[in-house]
Each structure stands twice: as C-alpha cells, then as structure tokens.
Amino acid sequence: MRVARVAVPLALAGLATTGVVAFAVPGSDAQTAVPAPATSVPDGAALREQPVSRDLQRTPSPTPVVTPSPTPTPSPTVAPTTKPTTRPATTKKATEKPAGPTAEQQAAHPKVSGSLWSTDELNIRTDPSKKADVVTVVPAATKLSVTSVRRDGYRLVVFKGEGRWVTAQYLSEKKPKVAASDAGGVTNAPCGKGSAMERGLTPDAVLVHRTVCARFPQVSSFGGTRGGGGFHGSGQAVDCMISDSTAGWALARWVRAHARELGVSEVIYSQKIWTVQRSGEGWRSMSDRGSATANHYDHVHVSVYGHWAA
C-alpha cells in the first residue's frame, strides 16, 4: 500500500485529536480513511487552538432596566354646573300683620254705631257663619242696633244686649214696606173646623193649625201626627191641604214671614223648601219624589220647633 503524505491544513488540526482524518488521494478510486498519529496536545494549546467567538470575549453590556413610566393620575372630572333657569327668589323679611280680634272677641264688646232695618225675615246667629246656631228669627221691617264691624258677609248687631251676627245684605237704612196681609194675625183661638187633629201635636204645631185655620179659609183640611219618624211622628208638623196654587203660595210665604211668632223651622210647598237654618238662601228646589202629594203640590207642609213660640 502506498501511503501519501499530505499536508493537513490548520483548520483540520482539531479533527486530529479524534485520531481519524478523512481525505481523498488523487488517482485513487476510493476515499481512504487514514488514521492520524496520536499526538498529545497540551491542554493550554488545545484551548488556544479552539475557535473562540469574539462576541464571547466581549464583556456583555448590562441589560438595560426599563423603568416603567408612572401612570398619569387622571384629572378629576368636574361636573358641569347647571345654570339655574329661574332667578333665585330674593329673601325678604316677611312683614307679619298682627292678628286681629276673633269674632268671639268682637261680639264680647260690641259698640253700637247706628240702626238699620231688616228687609226680610232675618236669622240672628251666634257667629258669622251659616253653620252657627240661630238664636231667633226676626221678621221684615225689624229695627236693629248695628255696629261698624263686618266679617265674612255678616254684620255685628246688638240684640237684647248681646253681640249677634246677621247677614249684611238684608239690612237697609230705610224701613221696608210690609203688605197689609203680612201684618200680625197670629192667633191661638180654636179652629172652627174642629180640633181633633190637634191630638198629639206640640204647642207650636197647635198654634200653626189655629192661625192658618183663621187666616186661610181656602185650606180644605189639615194633617197632624201620624205613624213613623220625622216631624209628623213627633207632633212637630202640620199639613195644610190646598188646591189653588196662588192661595198656596200666599199661605207658604205668610207662614215663612211669621216663622218667629209661630215657632216655625221649615216650610215646604210646590217642590220648594225654606228653612230657618238656611234662610239667606231663600226657597230651594227639592228632588222629584214622584207624586203631586210627595212633591207638596197639593198642600203646604209646616214644621215647628215644638215649644219655641209657646
């Protein structure tokens, strides 16, 4: 076998340490692996021969520390101030008026300033209100001592030495004319048509029966007490049966005008009602009750207090 000596480049020296070097010999048909002579290489030399990257020799630059940027503190959101649509009310010191005297205080010390006449029957009340108690009722053309005090449509008067209240619109400086038929006429003489119907009646009801009997001969009959409740049941009502409406209204108005002398509290005729308690409202309409009798078209109904006139 022919051994050829071939110069091995320095780059292949590192492979010699393994003991095998492979190379091709010109003219040979095959590549022959020629074992390389084992050569001892000092450790230091081996290290010098090893390829060293320049990057490894460099002192590594310190990894830059990324300082996180501080999160910006958000600016506080200021809610928009709503502009008032209206101008604020200007505070002013309230001027309080001193409270005036009450109706009770005014009535306690009344001072008469003059006199006036009643133009119609007039309720004498304890207070200036429709709900106040009625002390009595005075007929038309009654002269009353009045004060200058007015309150809620009422006038303070002095009646029998005490302060009382009347509706101011029914007072006049001139004495009103009173029809001759309206003057007096109250009587307690027994009725010529009989007194059987007076059984069970109160004194005021008896007085109404006797007076109407004497003044209105057009009345055909009278009704008094009957079973059931109401004014008739207690003997406080009289029915005056009358067919002529003209005579009927004359009777109703006359009794109303003399309510105080007769002790009358209410009058009903032709589906109309008048009461002492609501005298200032005049005749008031009533609801339909069905028949002519129930609606008081054929009679005048008179209710009384009982013992007022007596």
Per residue in 107-161, pLDDT (tens digit) is 999 999 999 999 887 888 999 998 888 787 787 889 999 999 999 999 999 999 9
Residue 121, domain extent: 104-172
Domain count for the chain, please give it.
3
- What per-residue confidence (pLDDT) applies to 177? 78
- What per-residue confidence (pLDDT) applies to 57? 52
Mean pLDDT along residues 244-265? 93
Q: Which residues of 158-197 are buried (b: 16+ CB within 10 A; e: fewer)?
A: bbeeebbbbbbebbeeeeeeeeeebeeeeeeeebeeeeeb
Structural domain includes residue 17: yes
The answer to whether residue 221 scores a pLDDT higher than 60 is yes
* One domain, residues 187 and 150: no
Residue with the larger pLDDT of the pair 262 and 14: 262
Output the six-digit token pair for 43: 């450790």
H/E stretch holding 103 reads helix 103-108
Structural domain includes residue 252: yes
H/E stretch holding 199 reads none
Amino acid found at 280:
G
Structural domain includes residue 76: no
Average pLDDT, the chain: 79
* One domain, residues 165 and 186: no
Give the distance, in angstroms, between the CA of residue 291 and the centroid of all CA atoms in the same chain.
42
* One domain, residues 156 and 114: yes
Nearest to 174 by CA among 239, 214, 118: 118
Write the pLDDT tens digit of every residue in 82-101.
665 666 555 555 566 677 89
**Distance between CA atoms of 243 and 223, rounded to whole angstroms?**
15
* One domain, residues 187 and 208: yes
Nearest to 248 by CA among 292, 281, 207, 288: 292
Give the percent of the chain with pLDDT over 70. 66
Q: Which residues of 42-59 are buried (b: 16+ CB within 10 A; e: fewer)?
A: eeeeeeeeeeeeeeeeee
The answer to whether residue 103 scores a pLDDT higher than 60 is yes
Structural domain includes residue 14: yes
